[in-house]
C-alpha cells in the first residue's frame, strides 16, 4: 500500500521567505493559503503566525500578512489549518508559555480573520483527556488537526515522551479531545501534516535534519506502518528541515508535492520556505548531450520545469518520463518523444497529451 504514492524527486526550488516553519493549508477558490510561523516582519524574535497566498500554482506569492500574533505567549508557531466548508476554517498552533508548548485552537469564516488572533488566550487551549502525561507534555511542532467522517482528529507528539506519534479525537468539542492511543510507534519524529488522497491517509514527518518521512494507511485510526523516506534535502541551504506540508490538488486525487521549511544551521533560525514537486520529468537530448539533469532542471511549481543551458540554441528531442523517473541511468517509464526541434534560450514549450 505504501507504494501507491511515489517518493518526491530531490529537486526543490527555493523561495525567499525567512521563516521558522511552514505548512500548506487548505485551498480556497483556486488559491492556496500558506500559513507559516516564525519571526516574520518583527525584530523581537518571538514567533507568530503569518500567511501568504499564491494564485498561480506556486509561481509567485502575495505579501505576508499577520494572522495570529504572539500576544501573551512567548511564541506562537506551528500552524496546522484545515478548511471544513465555505464558512468554517480551523487552525491549531502551539504556544510557548513558561517552559512548555501547548496547542490552541482558532476559528475563522474565511481563512484570514481568526478568533482568537493572538496567543495566550486561556479559552483557546486544547486538552487531551486520557493522556496521562498531558499536564507535563511539551507539544512543540507536532500538532496536526484533521477531519474525517464528522470526527475531529488530533495527531501530536510529546517531547517529554517522544518516541511515538499520538492520536486523539473529538466529535464536537474542539477544546477537549479524548486520547485514542499511539498512531505511529517508535518513530522519534515530529508529525507535521495529514492528508486524505484517493482512499488513503498520508502522514508527513521530520526530525530537524536532512530528511522527511511519510506513512500511509487506509484509516485515520489505529497504528500506521513504519515511516519511510519521503525526500531528502537539496544542499546546505536546506540541510535542517523543520517542517513539511503536502500539496494536493483541489479534488484530493493528486499529490502535487510539498512545501517545507528548512535552513543551513542547526540553530534553526535562518530558515526559508522550499518546494519540492512530484511531476513528470523532461529531458532534452541529442547525440552529444542530455539537458535537464541536476541543477540544470529545477521545478517551478507543480507543472513547470526549467531546463538550463549555456547555449543560445539547441537542436534535439524532448523526452517525457513518468513520475517514476529516478536519474539519467534509471529513467523509469518513457511516455513520449518529440520530433526533432530547435529551441532557443527563453523559449516556453507546453506539453499537451
Q: Tell me the C-alpha distance between 138 and 133, whole Å.
A: 10
Indicate yes or no: pTM above 0.85.
yes
Residues 6+ apart with CB under 8 A from 262: 233, 237, 238, 239, 240, 241, 242, 271, 272, 274
Spatial contact of 203 and 155, defined as CB atoms under 8 Å apart: yes
Helix ranges, the chain (H):
none
Residues 6+ apart with CB under 8 A from 294: none
Instruction: Kindly state the greatest CA–CA separation across the chain.
Output: 68
Domains of the chain, earliest start first: 2-277 (2.115.10.20), 281-344 (no CATH)
Per-residue pLDDT of the chain (353 residues; tens, 9 = 90+): 222 233 333 333 333 233 333 455 556 667 888 898 888 777 778 899 999 888 888 888 888 889 999 999 999 999 999 988 889 999 999 999 899 999 999 999 989 999 999 999 999 999 999 999 999 999 999 999 999 989 999 999 999 999 999 999 999 999 999 999 999 999 999 999 999 998 999 999 999 999 999 999 999 999 999 999 999 998 898 999 999 999 888 777 888 889 998 889 998 888 888 888 888 899 999 988 999 987 767 777 888 888 988 899 999 999 999 888 888 999 999 999 999 999 999 999 998 87
Amino acid at each position: 500500500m505504501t507504494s501507491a504514492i511515489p517518493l518526491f524527486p530531490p529537486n526543490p526550488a527555493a523561495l525567499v521567505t525567512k521563516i521558522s516553519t511552514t505548512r500548506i493549508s487548505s485551498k480556497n477558490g483556486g488559491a492556496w493559503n500558506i500559513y507559516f510561523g516564525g519571526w516574520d516582519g518583527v525584530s523581537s524574535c518571538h514567533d507568530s503566525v503569518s500567511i501568504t497566498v499564491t494564485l498561480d500554482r506556486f509561481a509567485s506569492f502575495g505579501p505576508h500578512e499577520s494572522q495570529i500574533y504572539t500576544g501573551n505567549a512567548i511564541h506562537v508557531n506551528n500552524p496546522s489549518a484545515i478548511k471544513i466548508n465555505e464558512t468554517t476554517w480551523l487552525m491549531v498552533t502551539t504556544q510557548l508559555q513558561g517552559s512548555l508548548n501547548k496547542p490552541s485552537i482558532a476559528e475563522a469564516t474565511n481563512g484570514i480573520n481568526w478568533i482568537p488572533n493572538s496567543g495566550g488566550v486561556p479559552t483557546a487551549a486544547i486538552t487531551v483527556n486520557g493522556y496521562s502525561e498531558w499536564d507535563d507534555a511539551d507539544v512543540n511542532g507536532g500538532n496536526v488537526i484533521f477531519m474525517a467522517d464528522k470526527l475531529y482528529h488530533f495527531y501530536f507528539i510529546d517531547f517529554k515522551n517522544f518516541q511515538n506519534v499520538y492520536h486523539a479525537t473529538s466529535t464536537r468539542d474542539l477544546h477537549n479531545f479524548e486520547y485514542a492511543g499511539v498512531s505511529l510507534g517508535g518513530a522519534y519524529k515530529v508529525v507535521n501534516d495529514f492528508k486524505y488522497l484517493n482512499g488513503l491517509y498520508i502522514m508527513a514527518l521530520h526530525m530537524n535534519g536532512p530528511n522527511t518521512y511519510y506513512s500511509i494507511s487506509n484509516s485515520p485510526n489505529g497504528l500506521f506502518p513504519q515511516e519511510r523516506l519521503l525526500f531528502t534535502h537539496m544542499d546546505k541551504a536546506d540541510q535542517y528541515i523543520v517542517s513539511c506540508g503536502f500539496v494536493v490538488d483541489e479534488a484530493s486525487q493528486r499529490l502535487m508535492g510539498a512545501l517545507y521549511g528548512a535552513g543551513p544551521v542547526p540553530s534553526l533560525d535562518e530558515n526559508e520556505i522550499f518546494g519540492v514537486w512530484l511531476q513528470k520529468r523532461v529531458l532534452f537530448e541529442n547525440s552529444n548531450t542530455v539537458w535537464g539533469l541536476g541543477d540544470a532542471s529545477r521545478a517551478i511549481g507543480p507543472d513547470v520545469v526549467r531546463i538550463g543551458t549555456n547555449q543560445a540554441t539547441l537542436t534535439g528531442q524532448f523526452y517525457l518520463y513518468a513520475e517514476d523517473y529516478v536519474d539519467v541511468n534509471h529513467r523509469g517509464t518513457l511516455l513520449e518523444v518529440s520530433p526533432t526541434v530547435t529551441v532557443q534560450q527563453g523559449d516556453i514549450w507546453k506539453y499537451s497529451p
